[in-house]
Structure 1
């Protein structure tokens, strides 16, 4: 099991596009109901920084990678929407309440 956090600073004129794509992505995830993954996008108060958290039961198998909606959204995020390099960090769960299960 691994938990990763990604910070993405979105270009001001792309925030609405990113939010719309995220909503469509999560609708596709809800429909597909992939096993072994927990995933979240949150927006920080600056209105441009998004925090993405992914918790994988098996580091070797990310079911999101096989989803066209995920691939399309990640392509937009990495190649069109971000204004700064994507920051990634590993996280270690110390405690949680209904967030990662």
Structure 2
């Protein structure tokens, strides 16, 4: 198992666009139903920062790359929406109740 967080600060004028694209992306992921992955987006209280959490059952091999909407949103996130560098951290779960 591999768990990562991605923290992104989004340009205020791009937030609505990013969230709309995210909703469509999650609908595409739900339709594709890739195995071996759990994925979530969360917005922080400042309204501009987001934390994305992903768990891969098989190391860092992501089945999300098979979903075109995921690849498109990630490309736009990195090139259009973020206002500062993306922060990526690997998590080491110590204990979990139905989360990891």
TM-score tier by shorter-chain length is: over 0.9
Q: Which runs of 5 or more residues in structure 1 are unaligned?
A: none
Provide structure 2 residue ranges, at least 5 long, that are not aligned to the other structure: none
Q: Tell me the C-alpha RMSD between the 2 structures.
A: 1.0
Which deviates the most, 52-61 or 25-34?
52-61
Residue 39 of structure 1 corresponds to which residue in structure 2? 39
How far does residue 61 in structure 1 lie from its aligned partner after superposition? 2.3
Deviation at 1:60, TM superposition (A): 4.8
Q: Secondary structure at the match of 2:24?
A: helix
The number of residue pairs the alignment matches comes to 100
CA contact (8 A) 2:8 2:49 kept: yes
Describe the superposition over 1:29-68 as per-residue Cα deviations: whole angstroms up to 9, x where unpaired. 1111100000010000000101001100112521001211
**Higher mean C-alpha deviation, range 38-47 or range 90-99:** 90-99
Contact 2:2 2:60 survives alignment (8 Å): no
